[in-house]
Amino acid sequence: MKTALPRRIDARKLVQREQQLKGIVPQESLPRLMSSVESVIGDVVAELEFGRDLQRNQMVEGRLQLEVQLLCQRCLQPVSEEIQAEFNWGFVWSEEQGKSLPKSLDPVIQDGDELDLYQVLEDEILLNLPMVAFHEEECVPRAEFQSGDESTEAVGQQENPFKVLEQLKGSSNKS
């Protein structure tokens, strides 16, 4: 069993020590994720390596992995999705500093002495959720998605919205 990652960290100290953190984030500590998915299967497993890049920016290279159940948008039944993400964060203490980071680093602002690691990891997970979830196999027959000839009959029966204008135009031509 892996140990839980600390919720609050001081990024500067971890970067100075070139520390590595490996552990889990308990799912109950991620309320936004829990409200965005049907369920989270197990805990989030994360690995973080703190250090500096070649430009001496304070950064972390990380990976996370978890399994969630989302609602299939075809059949409205749960579908399991494995989420794996790799990320590179650059630690800054203001938005202005964040603008000077290279594009390869996503800025993470540490307000004050500590950073809420769980919140930043939750942001990363939410960014990596699929836009639309669906089963790989056909869970709803294709025939149910096709409207067939019914739509052409319905269009023929609808009244032309410009018919009134046509009548008005016709009556003005007669005078």
Which residues are registered as beta bridge partners of 71?
Answer: 78
pLDDT in tens, the chain (175 residues): 579 999 999 999 999 999 999 999 999 999 999 999 999 998 999 999 999 999 999 999 999 999 999 999 888 899 999 999 999 999 998 899 999 999 999 999 988 889 999 999 999 999 999 998 888 888 877 777 665 555 555 555 667 777 777 777 776 665 5
pTM over 0.85: no
C-alpha to C-alpha distance for 25 and 6, rounded to whole angstroms: 9
pLDDT of residue 147: 58
pLDDT of residue 67: 96
Place of tokens 């690691």: 117
Structure tokens at 48: 């973080």
Terminal CA-CA length for the chain: 91
Nearby residues of 38 by Cβ (< 8 Å), 6 or more positions away: 68, 69, 70, 71, 78
> CA 141 → CA 42, 51, 78, 132, 137, distances in Å?
32, 52, 17, 18, 10
pLDDT of residue 105: 95
